[in-house]
Structure formats: structure tokens, C-alpha cells
Amino acid sequence: MTAESSYLFFTGSACGLLLLAAARLAIGYRQQAAGRWLLLLLAGVFCYLLRPLLPLESRFIEFLLDLPTILVPAAFWLFAHLLSSEGEPFPCWGWIPVSLSVAISVAAGHLDFPPSSRLHETLYVLSQPLKLGLIAAGMLALLQRYQSDLVAARRRLRALLLIAVGGYMLIVVCAEFLFSYQPVPAGLPTLHAFLASLLIFAACLWLLALSPNALTESMPRPTDSNAAAEETPAPLDEAQRQLLDRLESHMAAGGYRHTGLTIRELATQLDAREYVLRTLINRHLGYRNFNEYLNRFRIDEASARLASPDQAHLPVLSIALDIGYRSLSPFNAAFKRRHNMTPTEFRRERLPA
């Protein structure tokens, strides 16, 4: 088999697998924002792999094929954020680098400039760090709250996206920039097509065959993530019931007040295995994130103290620090998610002057 035929074989295999994965996503997740961004990500990768095989003469068709690829770094960041944020909105400032990356990439590849101008080269050079920045932002979003994530399937998906997908995209962007100024080594396109097909095959095998419910369990819930799941929990065996009793007693005694408490530390305090405690809080109590589980107790205590005339003299910050928060900002955010008002507004309503 020649290098060219190998390249065509692996590229075709990767594109076929991407179509299969996209069809599965479109059927099950097209109504969710995270699902739509993931579909756009797959479409961009599909167009990126297919584009070198198509000798296009129409500049408009070329632009339509290039646009999904240009949007891949932004789609990766947005999907990673929705997967990891537990309902928090995408930051408004994030649209600035997204818009700049798209605009500069489109201008570098599809706008006409005078032959003597170096704008094409300048814009192309500017577009590369923007792409790398968006991919890095997506990888950072996957890292945030990873330790406190209680959904086992989502933790595995985040690790896959972080290590395999995010890492591979960083390598591809850097390699493209490097080989824009020197010849591409023989066999590198075939190697790229092989690795892409291998990565996509492994992802499809896992998501469609080995763990078909992984995406369902990982996708953000349409309802408020602060509330415990309304599903009937699975019966507990004797060891789980004893651990649940110890957990409830520990929290009732104020165990949640420890600043920076992690599920690993809590498991040590309860003399339990971390993965067993994760499963108990997720499967039986219905929480997808450990911090939200802690917020249940912390916000309950804060609400009572803010409504108490005996503690009206205490600053809100003092209460926040007493119940385990490091600063006022995360306390305000958690409190507002529960009560749809700030702690100060809550106290003013409960303790009118």
C-alpha cells in the first residue's frame, strides 16, 4: 500500500467514524447546548480531514468548508465549559477571544489583500496563539472542579477530552504553524491521518459500545443542579448504610465548615474509600458535584444566621468564612443560586430595619 493510498484509507476511516458519532449525537443530544457545540466540534474535524482531498474551485464552497474548522477551538472551549460548569453561564469576556480568533482566521484565509501586502502572513501568525489560547481555555475548564466531580462517567470523559483531544489539537496547531515555513516531512500526513482515525475509533468504541450511557450521564442537566436528583436511589447494602450514617452525623456536627474541604479529605475523616464515598453521594444522594453537596449545608446555616436578629451585627464575610468559604465571591454565587438574591438582600428582607 502506497503512502497516498494509506492516507486516503485512514482519512476515509476517520471521516466515516465521525459521521457515525455525529449521527448518534444528533439523535440524542441536539436539543442541548452542549450537544450542539460537540456536533460543531465533530463537523469541524470532519471538514479539516476532508478538505485536502477536495480540489475546490469555488471560493464560497471553500469558505463553507473552512468555517467549521476555524470554529473548532471555540467549540471545544464552549463544550468543555458546559460539561464542567454545573450550570454557570459562559463568561461574557470569553466571546472577545472567540470573536477575534474567528475574525482573524477568516481574514487570513479568505480575504484578498494587495500582492505586496504582508497582511495575510501577519494575520495568520496572529491567529495561531488565539487558537492555542482557546484550546488551553477549554483544557483549563476541564481541569476546574475535576476533583469535586462526583459523576464517574463524566470524570472519565473529561480526562479523555483533556489528554487526548485537547492535547492532540495543541500538537496539530503547533505542527501546522511550524510546517507553514518548512517542507512537510514525507509520511507525516499519513501518520496524522492514522493517529486521527485511531483516536476517533477509540472514542467511538468507548462512547457507542463500551459505555453508551457515558454522554447521558455527563451532559448538563436541564434543571437546577443544586437540587438533589428526584430519582429513587438504589438500595444500600449494610456497609453503604453505615457510611451514610457516618456521613450524615459528620455533616450534622459541622464537618462541612472545614475550609477547602475536598472529597478526598472527607473520605479520610470518615475512614472510607474515596470512590465509595463519591458513588454514595452521587448515586444515592443525587449530587453531581461535591461542592454543591457542601453548599447544601453551608447555605442552610448561612440562611439561618442571616435571618437571626442575634447575629445581625455580624458582617456577611464573617459568616461566609465561618461556614467554610475562602472568600465572599463563591459564597455570594452559591447563595444566589439557592435563593435568587444576594446574602445582603436576604438579610434585609428577613430583618427589616
Q: What is the pLDDT of residues 5-25, one digit of tens each?
A: 888 999 999 999 999 989 988
Give me the pLDDT at residue 353, please. Answer: 63
Tell me, yes or no, whether 212 and 245 share the same domain: no
Residue range of the domain that includes 65: 3-218
Give me the pLDDT at residue 234, please. Answer: 65
Tell me, yes or no, whether 250 and 313 share the same domain: yes
Q: Is the pLDDT of residue 194 over 50?
A: yes
Q: Answer whether residue 61 is part of any domain.
A: yes
- Taking the C-alpha atoms of residue 70 and residue 152, their distance in angstroms, rounded to an integer, is 32
- Is residue 151 a contact partner of residue 288, using CB atoms and an 8 Å limit? yes
Percent of the chain residues past pLDDT 90, beyond the cut: 53
- The residue type at 340: N
Average pLDDT over residues 282-288: 89
Q: Which segments of the chain does DSSP mark as H helices, in order?
A: 3-29, 33-50, 59-70, 72-84, 95-110, 119-143, 152-160, 167-178, 188-204, 214-218, 238-252, 263-269, 274-279, 290-306, 316-322, 328-339, 343-350
* Cell (9 digits) for 218: 455527563
Tell me, yes or no, whether 60 and 188 share the same domain: yes
Average pLDDT over residues 330-349: 92
Give me the pLDDT at residue 120, please. Answer: 83
Q: Is the pLDDT of residue 229 over 50?
A: no
Give me the pLDDT at residue 89, please. Answer: 86
Q: Is the pLDDT of residue 167 over 70?
A: yes
Tell me, yes or no, whether 118 and 203 share the same domain: yes
b (16+ CB within 10 A) / e for 68-87: bbbbbbbbbbbbbbbbbbbe
Give me the pLDDT at residue 3, please. Answer: 76
Q: Is the pLDDT of residue 240 over 50?
A: yes
Distance of CA 103 to the CA centre of its chain: 24
Average pLDDT over residues 314-324: 94
Tell me, yes or no, whether 83 and 173 share the same domain: yes
Q: Is the pLDDT of residue 341 over 60?
A: yes
Tally the domains of the chain. 2
The pTM of this model reads: 0.85
Give me the pLDDT at residue 95, please. Answer: 96
Rg (CA), the chain: 25
Tell me, yes or no, whether 57 and 156 share the same domain: yes
Q: Answer whether residue 186 is part of any domain.
A: yes
Tell me, yes or no, whether 66 and 190 share the same domain: yes
In the three-class reduction of DSSP (H, G, I as helix; E, B as strand; rest coil), residue 350 is classed as helix
**Which residue in 353, 271, 341, 263 sits closest to 299, CA to CA?**
341
Q: Is the pLDDT of residue 223 over 60?
A: no
**Which residue in 188, 222, 301, 286 sits closest to 254, CA to CA?**
301
- Taking the C-alpha atoms of residue 128 and residue 142, their distance in angstroms, rounded to an integer, is 21
- Taking the C-alpha atoms of residue 175 and residue 169, their distance in angstroms, rounded to an integer, is 10
- Taking the C-alpha atoms of residue 79 and residue 289, their distance in angstroms, rounded to an integer, is 18
Q: Answer whether residue 71 is part of any domain.
A: yes
Please provide the average confidence, as pLDDT, over all residues in the chain.
88
Q: Is the pLDDT of residue 226 over 50?
A: no
Tell me, yes or no, whether 147 and 265 share the same domain: no
Tell me, yes or no, whether 167 and 278 share the same domain: no
- pLDDT tens for 246-281 read 999 999 999 999 998 999 999 999 999 999 999 999
How does residue 232 score in pLDDT terms, banded at 50, 70 and 90?
low
